[in-house]
Structure formats: C-alpha cells, structure tokens
Amino acid sequence: MASARRTTRTTREDDLLKLRALHAYVKYPRTGQPHAAFDDIRAAVVEIRGFVYVTLKSGRRQIAVFRLRGDGQLRRLVRLPKELRSDDE
C-alpha cells in the first residue's frame, strides 16, 4: 500500500482547503444531503495516517468529509475512515 507524502501546510493553505471543501459541498449537493445553514458550518483539516482530510460539521453533526488527493483535488468520501466516524452513525 502506497503512503501519502508528508508535507507541512501553512494556515493559509489549510484555510484554502476549507474554503474549497465548503464550495464543493454547496455547489455539488448529493441526494439526501443534510441541510445546514451556511453560517453554521465549521471546517477542520485533519491528517490521519499521512492522508489529509477536510471535515465539515454543522453543530455536532458531521455533514461531509473530503480527502486531498495526490494531484491536489478534493474527493468527497462516501465511506469514512474509522478515525473520522462519529458515534451516532
């Protein structure tokens, strides 16, 4: 199994990732996507096992997770890594 390259990111790069994930969540909704007020959504950048993830939460509910691919694109995940699964799912 190939592992992702470890890189150091600046706060500006993290903020850009959060903005891109939020944009993708709003622009490309999924069927059955939970509704969330735009000003209530919080984003966080997390690194697990060398992979970078962006999580979007509304209140205590996790509404979307994106993974940063090697080519810099964000990919919305259907199945979450066990470290990111919440107890209520």
Look up the pTM and report it: 0.80
Residues 7-48 have pLDDT tens digits of 577 889 999 999 999 999 888 887 777 677 777 889 999 999
Are residues 57 and 41 in contact, defined by beta-carbon separation less than 8 angstroms? yes
Whole-number Å distance between alpha carbons of 26 and 13: 20
Residue range 58-72: mean pLDDT, rounded: 90
pLDDT given at position 1? 38
pLDDT given at position 87? 58
pLDDT given at position 29? 80
Q: What is the DSSP string of 47-83?
A: EETTEEEEEEEETTEEEEEEEE-TTS-EEE-SSPPGG
- Report for 31-35, 51-55, 83-87: range of highest mean pLDDT: 51-55
Whole-number Å distance between alpha carbons of 10 and 76: 22
pLDDT given at position 4? 45
